Structure 1
Amino acid sequence: MLSFFKPNPVKKLRKSYDLILEQAMQAQRKGDIKTYSLLTAESEQIWDKITALEATSK
């Protein structure tokens, strides 16, 4: 009944996903390709979690 009071895990994951992509972009601009690749891999894992949560909610 009051489901709008429940926290949305997808929203929190999307926020961290966007933050990590921003950090990856900054690392790439600085020429730190190793950090860029690590952050990109981490963001891909978060994206997989997001898609899995969205698939189960439908």
Structure 2
Amino acid sequence: MTDRPDPGTGDLGGDPVCWLHLVCPDCGAFRESPDEPCPRCGSTTVEPGDGSAAEPPSGSAG
């Protein structure tokens, strides 16, 4: 029998979730900054929840 490490305990690698705000929502490319247009498709789309100003809730205040 070979001595193998438990696959659930090793480093799985991959990109950290904290970079998600740098992914272009239109084409999936990584941007240098969320404030700049995408270098691949030129999109300036910003995803909700990226830290920009929040939209006011819909409906009337009351």
User: Normalised by the size of structure 1, how large is the TM-score?
Assistant: 0.27
Q: Is the helix fraction higher in 1 or 2?
A: 1
The structure, 1 or 2, with the larger RCO (C-alpha pairs under 8 Å, 6+ apart) is 1
User: Normalised by the size of structure 2, how large is the TM-score?
Assistant: 0.26
